[in-house]
């Protein structure tokens, strides 16, 4: 549930003798449906170009990159974050802080188009999403790793690097799970960013809108279930399938999002922000805010104020 980033398990760095280059030194692990690449960089450099013929799921492991994609402004790319890059898309990468003492390390998992299509067809047939197709969202290519996503990527790394005879079969199962986790993460991110990724008129759209209307109130899930004409178990399955989290987890994330908007008003006391965002206990609000955002509401407000003055 938390927006705080979930770091991946760190593979060992290459020995100095094994390095072929100090910029994007590459270790490759080939499987039938995917190719795991681990890149390491040991010196500062700019506009390093990289391109794959398949869709690539990348995740930062160590250090800092600045990514340039889709002719958009570059953005900092840090551990705990992932970026999905379409096939044949040219990446341009800066390494502003890389050194022998502080190398960058990033994984790039190239997945075959046939495996992606096979998985999406399977999901759409077996687990239909109420008039919305299972598909990757090219708009939401950059996101934080949640716990489930990090666990799945870690499992794939271990499988790809293993000597198991069955590793191709195990990797195929993990790739299916990875694509599901990514689509859920993208959908949740687009909902939180108010993008129109959830089709109007669908059950999940109606549930999200009901929650937002009643966000400042004490939400009774039984009332929501009655409105939606479904059981609590069905509501839970709906949210877990579409967004990867439970209804209660979604409500908390929405309340924190509302609280962040309210915190930009310097006249509002933290306690009042807590109540207006639907939290009955201010101390619980502060603990929850910090667990999700990594800082307290007071620190968030100060950071927002400082950003206003520096803009």
Pick the CATH number of 16-192 from 2.60.40.1120, 2.40.400.10, 2.60.120.280, 3.30.2350.10: 2.60.120.280
Contact in structure between 216 and 277 (CB atoms under 8 Å): yes
User: What is the C-alpha separation between 153 and 188, in angstroms, rounded?
Assistant: 19
Is residue 1 scored above 70 in pLDDT?
no
Q: Is 269 helix (H, G, I), strand (E, B) or coil?
A: coil
Is residue 297 scored above 90 in pLDDT?
yes
Q: Is 12 helix (H, G, I), strand (E, B) or coil?
A: coil
Exposure letters 91-103 (e unless 16+ CB within 10 A, then b): bebbbeebeeeeb
Closest CA to 294 of 2, 80, 26, 69: 2
Query: What pTM was computed for the model?
Result: 0.81
Sole residue written with tokens 């509401």: 297
User: What does DSSP say about strands 75-77 and 25-30: parallel, antiparallel, or unpaired?
Assistant: unpaired
Tens-place pLDDT, residues 51-92: 999 999 999 999 999 999 998 999 999 999 999 999 999 999
Tens-place pLDDT, residues 200-244: 567 888 899 999 999 988 898 999 999 999 999 999 999 998 888
Domain 198-311, what architecture?
A: Orthogonal Bundle (1.10)
**Where does the chain hold its CATH 2.60.120.280 domain(s)?**
16-192
Percent of the chain with pLDDT over 70: 94
Q: Is 57 helix (H, G, I), strand (E, B) or coil?
A: strand
Contact in structure between 134 and 145 (CB atoms under 8 Å): no
How high does pLDDT run on average in the chain?
90
């Amino acid at each position: 549930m938390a927006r705080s980033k979930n770091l991946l398990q760190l593979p060992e760095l290459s020995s100095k003798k094994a390095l072929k280059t100090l910029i994007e030194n590459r270790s490759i692990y080939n499987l039938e449906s995917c190719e795991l690449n681990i890149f390491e960089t040991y010196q500062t450099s700019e506009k390093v170009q990289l391109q794959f013929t398949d869709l690539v799921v990348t995740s930062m492991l160590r250090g800092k990159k600045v990514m340039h994609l889709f002719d958009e402004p570059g953005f900092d790319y840090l551990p705990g974050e992932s970026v999905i890059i379409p096939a044949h898309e040219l990446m341009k990468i800066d390494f502003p802080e890389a050194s022998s003492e502080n190398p960058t390390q990033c994984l790039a998992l190239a997945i075959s188009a046939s495996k992606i299509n096979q998985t999406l067809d399977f999901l759409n047939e077996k687990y239909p999403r109420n008039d919305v197709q299972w598909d990757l969202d090219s708009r939401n290519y950059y996101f934080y790793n949640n716990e489930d996503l990090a666990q799945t990527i870690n499992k794939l790394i271990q499988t790809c690097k293993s000597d198991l005879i069955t590793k191709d079969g195990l990797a195929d199962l993990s790739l299916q799970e990875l694509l599901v986790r990514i689509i859920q993460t993208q959908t949740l991110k687009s909902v939180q960013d108010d993008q129109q990724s959830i089709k109007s008129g669908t059950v999940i759209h109606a549930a999200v809108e009901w929650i937002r209307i009643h966000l400042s109130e004490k939400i009774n899930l039984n009332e929501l279930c009655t409105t939606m004409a479904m059981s609590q178990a069905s509501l839970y399955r709906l949210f877990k399938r579409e967004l990867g989290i439970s209804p209660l987890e979604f409500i908390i994330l929405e309340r924190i999002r509302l609280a962040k908007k309210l915190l930009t008003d310097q006249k509002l006391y933290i306690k009042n922000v807590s109540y207006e965002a639907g939290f009955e206990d201010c101390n619980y609000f502060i603990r929850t805010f910090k667990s999700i955002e990594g800082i307290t509401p007071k620190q968030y407000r100060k950071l927002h104020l400082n950003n206003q003055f520096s803009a």
